[in-house]
């Protein structure tokens, strides 16, 4: 594995680290998140084995010990290291930062391209990251391969299947506050009502609700007009 340095917009780096961190809880079963580095882009992945989150951003001014990259450089960081770089990138809002990597040592973020070390994450690449049961374990490379396979399979569905429904993610958080009179208060059943129709929500034996999907055309028009309405 090769060391490298590259420049990246700090806002972009903060975004992709934040979006993986949301699926990578500190006490989760998976102990690292994954950063894949190409010469022109970064890809982050976080998982707790129940959910997966992946995002990407562009990079520039890439310098690497290797003469060419046929495969991405893969770096795993523990939660503290990942969160530290994410925090420092957010603080460097509006600037361009420098990301440096020394294999087996650290991933370092330098805000604004400065030489002072700021965000530092220890390289955990190749170490055991999950323990599913007392007897069965998964190495990190297997976890990421499973994530890759799942996301690729789900995003490569035939285009003729028009069953995509858009929702405002903020609206889903309201259902987290519902208290159930039964034992299954953590489970929400969403019942599909047809393309473009509100979706029925059931929690426990008594609660029912609904959530409205977003009409993308109306949403785009409202955004152009400066309105907040989604439909």
- Taking the domains of the chain in order of start, what are their residue ranges? 4-155, 169-224
Residue 85's pLDDT is 96
Share of residues in the chain with pLDDT > 70 (%): 86
| Per-residue confidence band for 162, with pLDDT thresholds at 50, 70 and 90 | low
In the sheet where 119-122 sits, what is the strand order?
Answer: 60-64, 4-9, 96-102, 106-110, 119-122
Query: Is the backbone of residue 63 left (phi > 0), alpha (psi -120 to 50) or beta?
Result: beta
What is the pLDDT at residue 41?
A: 94
Hey, which bits of the chain come out as E strands?
Answer: 4-9, 32-37, 41-47, 52-58, 60-64, 73-78, 96-102, 106-110, 119-122, 128-131, 137-139, 188-191, 199-203, 207-211
Per-residue pLDDT, 203 = 85
pLDDT tier, 182 (very low <50, low <70, confident <90, very high otherwise): low
The Cα 116–Cα 123 span in angstroms is: 19
**Looking at 14-18, 84-88, 112-116, 131-135, which range is the least confident one?**
131-135
Strand duo 60-64 + 4-9: pairing: antiparallel
> Is a pLDDT exceeding 90 seen at residue 126?
no
Per-residue pLDDT at 131 exceeds 90: no
pTM: 0.83
Interatomic CA distance for residues 126 and 36, integer angstroms: 14
> Check: CATH 2.170.140.10 for 4-155?
no
């Amino acid at each position: 594995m090769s060391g490298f340095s590259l420049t990246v917009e700090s806002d972009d780096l903060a975004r992709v680290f934040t979006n993986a961190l949301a699926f990578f809880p500190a006490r989760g079963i998976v102990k690292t998140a994954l950063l894949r580095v190409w010469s022109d882009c970064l890809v982050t992945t976080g998982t707790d084995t129940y959910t997966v989150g992946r995002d990407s951003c562009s990079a520039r001014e890439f310098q690497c010990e290797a003469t060419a990259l046929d495969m991405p450089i893969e770096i795993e960081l523990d939660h503290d290291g990942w969160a530290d770089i994410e925090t420092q990138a957010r603080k460097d809002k509006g600037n361009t930062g420098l990301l440096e990597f020394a294999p087996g040592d650290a991933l370092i973020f330098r805000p604004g391209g400065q030489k002072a070390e700021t965000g530092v994450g220890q390289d955990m690449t190749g170490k055991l990251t999950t323990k599913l049961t007392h007897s069965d374990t998964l190495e990190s490379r297997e976890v990421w391969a499973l994530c890759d396979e799942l996301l690729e399979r789900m995003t490569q569905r035939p285009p003729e299947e028009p069953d995509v429904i858009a929702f405002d993610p903020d609206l889903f958080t309201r259902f987290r506050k519902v208290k159930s009179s039964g034992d299954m208060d953590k489970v929400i059943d969403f019942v599909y009502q047809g393309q473009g129709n509100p979706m029925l929500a059931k929690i426990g034996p008594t609660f029912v609700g609904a959530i409205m999907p977003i009409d993308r055309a109306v949403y785009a028009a409202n955004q152009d007009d400066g309105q907040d309405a989604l439909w």
